[in-house]
Chains A and B, each alone.
Chain A
Amino acid sequence: NAGVTQTPKFRILKIGQSMTLQCAQDMNHNYMYWYRQDPGMGLKLIYYSVGAGITDKGEVPNGYNVSRSTTEDFPLRLELAAPSQTSVYFCASSSRQDFNQPQHFGDGTRLSIL
Chain B
Amino acid sequence: AQTVTQSQPEMSVQEAETVTLSCTYDTSESDYYLFWYKQPPSRQMILVIRQEAYKQQNATENRFSVNFQKAAKSFSLKISDSQLGDAAMYFCAYSWGNFNKFYFGSGTKLNVKP
Spell out A's residues near B (CB within 8 Å): 31, 33, 35, 40-45, 48, 50, 56, 58, 88, 90, 92, 94, 96, 99-103, 105, 107-108
A101 to B97, CA, bound (A): 11
Is B25 positioned at the interface, with any CB of A under 8 Å from its CB?
no
Pick out which of these stretches binds chain A: B11-19, B59-67, B71-79, B99-107: B99-107
Residue of B nearest to A38 (CB): B106
- Are A40 and B100 in contact (CB-based, < 8 A)? no
A58 to B98, CA, bound (A): 14
**Which of B47, B99, B103, B107 is the one whose CB lies under 8 Å from A48?**
B99
- A43 and B43 in contact, given A102-B35, A102-B50 (Cβ under 8 angstroms): no
Q: Which of B73-114 contact A (CB under 8 A)?
A: 91, 95-96, 98-107
Write out the residue numbers on chain B whose beta carbons fall within 8 Å of the beta carbon of A101: 100
The proximity string for B residues 10-41 relative to A, scoring 1 for CB distances below 8 Å and 0 otherwise, is 00000000000000000000001101000000
- Are A100 and B107 in contact (CB-based, < 8 A)? no
Write out the residue numbers on chain B whose beta carbons fall within 8 Å of the beta carbon of A45: 101-103
Residue of B nearest to A90 (CB): B45
- Are B44 and A42 in contact (CB-based, < 8 A)? no
Write out the residue numbers on chain B whose beta carbons fall within 8 Å of the beta carbon of A43: 45, 91, 102, 104
- A103 and B91 in contact, given A41-B107, A88-B43 (Cβ under 8 angstroms): no
Write out the residue numbers on chain A whose beta carbons fall within 8 Å of the beta carbon of B35: 102
A94 to B33, CA, bound (A): 14
- Are A94 and B100 in contact (CB-based, < 8 A)? yes
Apart from A45-B103, A102-B47, A105-B45, what 4 extra A-B contacts exist at CB < 8 Å? A40-B9, A94-B100, A107-B42, A108-B43
Q: List 10 A-B contacts (CB under 8 A).
A: A33-B101, A40-B106, A41-B107, A42-B4, A43-B45, A43-B91, A44-B104, A56-B99, A101-B100, A102-B47
